[in-house]
Structure 1
Amino acid sequence: MDGNEATVVSLDTKPTSNWAPLPLTTVEMQKDCARFFKFSAKQTLTIAEKLYNSGFISYPRTETDRFPKNMDFKKLIQSQAQSQTWGQYAQMLLNDGSKFRQPREGSHDDKAHPPIHPVIFTSGESLNANERKLYEYVVRRFLGCCSKDATGLRTSLTLKWGTETFTTSGLIVKELNYLEVYIYNSWESSKSKIPEVQAGEKVTLTSAQLSTGKTSPPSPLTEPELIALMDINGIGTDATIAEHIEKIIERSYVTKEDQGRGKSKSKVLIPTELGYALAEGFGQIGFDSIPGAP
């Protein structure tokens, strides 16, 4: 390297957004509840169906991620304004026209049921702890859908030191918007501030460190990851994915085990010897080479 001076190649600041969520589908609900609450896919559906049968939320088995054109969002939001927890935010959406927005539209519509959303308000007194968690999640997701995206400024800085080029970036969050109510996502300003410099300017480096490392094998799948892969590859439907996962655990093809510690702790699916044997057996049968085979 050439001394301890580097040259600023570029400094670029652009507006950026953290998008509000799409209307809620069964698969997204299952993935989120596994991540946020450690619910299994089957447990999530069981709880959601109880809330539906009690009249608190809409039908929980749906692939639709766009609301009907005639949906009365203001009426649904108004019913949530009485909450001691998120009521103030709901009222703000009603009072401030600049904060409310029509929910984004996804590309899926099963033509049978709308996205999952709260139907009436409940304080949760008649619900158990897990039911309250899921109901609150559905409400906050719905209010988030009716809110504007979070906005910020993303700055990218590129330096050249000798023959090497280095790039870093920083974020300044300007407006949280939907993140004020959808507490399950986080988006924070960078702790280290990007210095105010100009292209071509020389800067003095105070320290440099060379690190070594190695690649690691992929971690076992978590249930949210498996649900996402099944959805992408068309394995099961919103109504049967949970049953498929429960069945391979029940039949001891995989086991569900804890991985990590503290906040990073998660449950992963570990194939058993029986599971490996089954997969290898299917591979040797050669279904891929059989015309018309699934």
Structure 2
Amino acid sequence: MVRIGYTMMTEQAGPGELVSHVVGAERAGFDFSVISDHAFPWLGSQGHAPYAWCVLGAAAQATSRIPLMTFVTCPTFRYHPAVIAQKAATMQLLSEGRFRLGLGSGENLNEHIVGSGWPAAHIRLEMLDEAVGIIRELFGGGYVTHHGTHFDVENARLWDLPPTPPPIGIAVSGERSCEIAGRRADVLVSTEPKGGLIQAFATHGGAGRPCVGQLPVCYDPDRASAVDRAHEQFRWALGGWEVNAELPGPAGFAGATAHTRPEDVAEVIPCGDDVDAFVEAVRPYVEAGFTEVALVQTGGDHQEPFLDWAETKLLPALREL
């Protein structure tokens, strides 16, 4: 049975609201939760970008059951991998073993703020590979010194280590990222229901490990309102990762999606309150081999009705998958 998760979307709600939302998701019966880690929203209409790691600490204290996960953090530009290792170890302690560290090669949208430039994709993946190795070594305990191609670590140590380090997830989109994930990751992360990614992950050593997907949805009893909201806030999602990783800010995404129509968005994002439509949108992930799917309800002000509906209608139907 596929596990169904809830997404704390930092681009569309403030920190207090995000914590309230994940408390509601735990109460509604979601199997796990994930959080985006952004410095900017995709579109100005979303309007938020609080610091995900503060939200996670508060969420760990406000909940007791639901697992937490970054989806995903980039450990190469805004954050040094040694700092990420400390954050993740602390989160695993605060959550009493409920945390997973999802990592990825990042987007220009968020990482440009430190002024380090935005190298080609193959360089970003090299950096991710090296960063995960540093994080793993620090999770192992003891002092770590590392002088590599992209990072230096001098006499670092994690003084507060959990009994079990947080599992590491790696976001994939192609063969090279699947190869890194197969060697380095405990969990595959993807936003696309492509079975080929899971097959490549398995080929490179990831067979049998959890695979977590993500799907935007837009619940509203008024389907027309749902379509309008999905178009206003989530039309960027139709661009594909090769585009979405490169654009530098919300204005760029607004320009790139200026000709995207509401009906184009509605073909990709299930809108309204038809349970069957939502189930059919999740089905490709299940058929591709994903073991977990995190839903993103569109609209920071529309979470509570979605959580109520999910508890009584959607989650029971999805568990039939």
Per the shorter chain, which TM-score range?
A: under 0.3
Higher helix share: 2
Pair member with larger Rg: 1
